[in-house]
Amino acid sequence: MGNEASWQEAATTGRFAGKTVIVTGAGIGQATALRIVKEGGKVIAAVVVAAGGRVDALANVAGIMDNFAPIHELDDALWERVFRINVGALMRLTRAVVPLMLEAGTGSVVNVASETGLRGSAAGAAYKHAVIGLAKNSAVMYGPKGLRFNAVAPAPRSPTLRPTGDPSWPPSDSAR
């Protein structure tokens, strides 16, 4: 974008003070957890019972990639594994925390999808659309009850995300 050198991260002291947040995933998930702690929050691994009956926010970050195969080459086992982890687990964890948020009358859920879930892609486009759809549906269902649901869609540049079964990912800069 040309302005990366001028951007500076600025933590907001106390933004998460007194808040309990569940964060899943490595990479972006770890960065999210560290930021929440830096800003005064308490981070719980993805175990709802450990939250002690209070969950202020949930960051659904964990996910795996498919193998970038076109649909006619995609096998059922990989399809089912990607959906089980990326959509099923996200839905189940969200379903587990929503009653606690409803009881408190407030809460926030952020689902991390991908910008390819907005425009389509060779990689995992269907599950990314599902993650975004769950956030949209939940916002409509629970917004009037004080809960916020959002999906964020970062660009696919993370070296921690790689096609399943491809240890050579990401390609070298010369191959891009």
The residues carrying an active-site annotation are 127-128
Residue 116's nearest CA partner among 105, 102, 135, 130 is: 130
Pull the structure tokens for residue 167.
């240890």
Coil, strand or helix at 129: helix
Instruction: Give the Cα separation of 130 and 138 in Å (integer).
Output: 12
User: How many of the other CB atoms lie within 10 Å of CB of 11?
Assistant: 10
Instruction: Give the Cα separation of 23 and 20 in Å (integer).
Output: 10
Coil, strand or helix at 25: coil
